[in-house]
Structure 1
Amino acid sequence: MTSANSPVLPLVRCAAIGPESCRRTALILAEAQDSNGGKFDASMACIAAWTGLSKVQARKHVHALVRMDVLRVLANANGGDPLAWPVYQFNVLRLRALGQHPGGTPDMFSASAPPRRSFDALNGTDGGKEIVAMAIEILGRPGKREVRFVREAPQGDIAYGRTHLQALLLPTFAKGAWTGWLNPQEGAPDWADPVYTPSDTVERLRQWAQSVALGRVESIETA
């Protein structure tokens, strides 16, 4: 695999990019590049939709990334072809250079208890009539992060599976992204049904997991 086609999301996670809204935009665009073979084409309206920002804010962050030489426009930079979108690619060398500046936040994963957040899902067998108390935990070290889902019950947590953190961080349109469905694992009680997580809850969990993985201490306190 050439460096141009290597995953850039891990590099963006480690790079000193700010402010936070610009960093989040970079992470989402990195996911788009990794999902599309080393580069991606997108209109500003698409980027705004991916990031949940207005077109004005999306343009501001994209231009900031270009000025930092983090993001490069390979084709149709000025809209010369009205039928084609700009083609973007991250500058791997620049990302690596920015990643050499260590952050000052503590590693929350050195604590005995992993970062955890409770959330509500819906019973997947009764049309969503029953609200089910669930929780997500983030486990592992940088580069090997996993998320674990459990059902919160009086007798203790019931396992509902685990997956790589990247599956949760991927936008919903990307191949391999988490769909929101969770199934009880072997050994679960018979009454533990599959559950479905609404899309707005999935997005909140994605943002929380991204913040925790980036080492933002306040994400645990305020999530």
Structure 2
Amino acid sequence: MNCEHVKNHDNLEDILNDVPEFLIKEDWEWLVKEKFLCKEFKKMSKTNEENRALKTMNQHSGRRPVRQIALDLEEKLGRPPTVAELVFKTYKEGDMIKDDAANERHAKILEIMESNPDFTALEVVEAILGEQKRGHVICFGGGLRPKDLKSSTSTKDATDANLEAQLRRSDEEKEALHQSVIELKGTVSEQAEEMATMKAEMKKLQEMFASSQNRQH
């Protein structure tokens, strides 16, 4: 959030106007002024960037089984992944598919899903690779047979379910962030009150000391 909505701008006005969609404007203004632009936060952010730059080891040690990728995606999405999602996740390098054959197949899958939104996952696979009679279904790894996909949701249903899940997560995240900002405001307010109290006490001590000095003279 700091990189995308703060560092990409040169002045405060542009930063304040670039409100993330999951925050309300009042909370964003407070975060910018009290957190992102304060010296302590900038120093910490710079340190984190330097530490990340030192990491040179790739943490991926090989491609996982497709079946495991499908299970991980299902857990993340809250529903079985579409064929396109699974193929992209399996073959992507960074944010894109670099293998020409895999990229061509992924594009074909997207084309079929777009023109046939009511197709099940099995129907999408069979439209490209032919009828899947026995054994495992190509694209879904071992252990998943054709009959397991015959009653699976269509691309349209899966997309609708995914959008609903994303909206719920977005609302929940927005509310959680709002509550966090409220708590931060409360903490800052308490610290300000404590500081004001300390200043008042210091002033009293200074006045008492000055009065004592005057009496001695």
* Fold conserved between structures, TM > 0.5: no
Counting strand residues as a fraction of each chain, which structure ranks higher?
1
Using CA pairs below 8 Å that are at least 6 residues apart, which structure has the higher relative contact order? 2
Structure label with greater radius of gyration: 2
Counting helix residues as a fraction of each chain, which structure ranks higher?
2
TM-score of the pair, normalised by structure 1? 0.29
